[in-house]
Amino acid sequence: MNDDKSYKEYLADITTFIFDVDGVLTDGTITVTTDGEMLRTMNIKDGFALKTAIDNGFNLCIISGGSNEGVRKRLAGLGIKDIFLGAHNKIEQLETYLDQKNISKSQVLYMGDDIPDYPVMTLVGMPCCPQDAVAEIKAISKYISHKNGGKGAVRDVIEQVLKVQNKWNKNFSAKYD
């Protein structure tokens, strides 16, 4: 997406992070067990960033077409309350969520990686994607992470927003000295 603003100029207005799961919080690989269970791998550094965003008062929402309960448990364990799995109409879910929370679309950073994310990404203030997203998603993204999905792309965008808003390091020295 080409306009005259640097992507960093959008980060100061972000109050809400919305993420897809497969290909964003995971690398998109699914391991199928003999029982038919589908296993995914998530990055611990992405988890730290998600928790840090919540601790700093950001809204955090997951909208995914997938419906793995293990994913829900992992994300809920990080403190994410707004988890919408099995969401095949992502626009409807986005609009309902924003209405309920009284959030402007311009305040939303949405990270997606594939065609099902395309319609919803065209509506938010800061559409972005992992490095390994499909070409159509890269074309509409204001920022393309240098990290792949499931390999730190979520940490990358959260850290950048929190740094621009002077919220990244504010409590770390006291917590980790």
111: which strand partners?
Answer: 19, 128
Model confidence band, residue 172 (pLDDT cutoffs 50, 70, 90): low
Asked if pLDDT for residue 19 goes beyond 60, the answer is: yes
pLDDT for 2 equals 46
Number of domains in the chain: 1
Angle, helix 44-55 to helix 153-164, in steps of 10 degrees? 30
Judge whether 4 lies within some domain: no
Q: What is the pLDDT of residues 21-71, one digit of tens each?
A: 999 999 999 999 999 888 899 999 999 999 999 999 999 999 999 888 899
Q: What is the mean pLDDT of residues 110-139?
A: 98
Cα–Cα distance for residue pair 42/26, rounded to 1 Å: 5
Q: Give strand pairing partners of 144.
A: 129
Query: Of 3-12, 124-133, 160-169, which gets the smallest average pLDDT?
Result: 3-12
3 located within any domain: no
Q: Which two tokens stand for residue 45?
A: 């550094």
| Structural domain harbouring 29 | 9-166
Q: State residue 6's pLDDT score.
A: 85
Residue 3 has pLDDT above 80, yes or no: no
The answer to whether residue 177 sits within a structural domain is no
Full-model pTM: 0.92
Under a CB-based contact definition with an 8 Å cutoff, are residues 155 and 49 in contact? yes
pLDDT value, residue 177 = 44
93, part of any domain: yes
14 falls within a domain: yes
pLDDT given for residue 67 in this prediction: 86
In this structure, what CATH number is given to the domain that contains residue 64?
3.40.50.1000
The percent of residues above 90 in pLDDT, for the chain, comes to 83
CA distances from 40 to 43, 67, 127 (A): 10, 12, 24
Query: How much is the pLDDT for 169?
Result: 78
> Can you give the pLDDT at residue 1?
47
| CA pair distance 65, 115, nearest whole angstrom | 12
Which SS3 state, helix, strand or coil, does residue 17 take? strand
Answer whether residue 93 shows pLDDT above 80: yes
**Domain for residue 172, yes or no?**
no
158 pLDDT higher than 80? yes
Do the domain assignments include residue 173?
Answer: no
Q: What pLDDT, on the 0 to 100 scale, is given for residue 90?
A: 95
- CA-to-CA separations, 8 to 118, 127, 131, 157, in angstroms, rounded: 21, 12, 17, 10
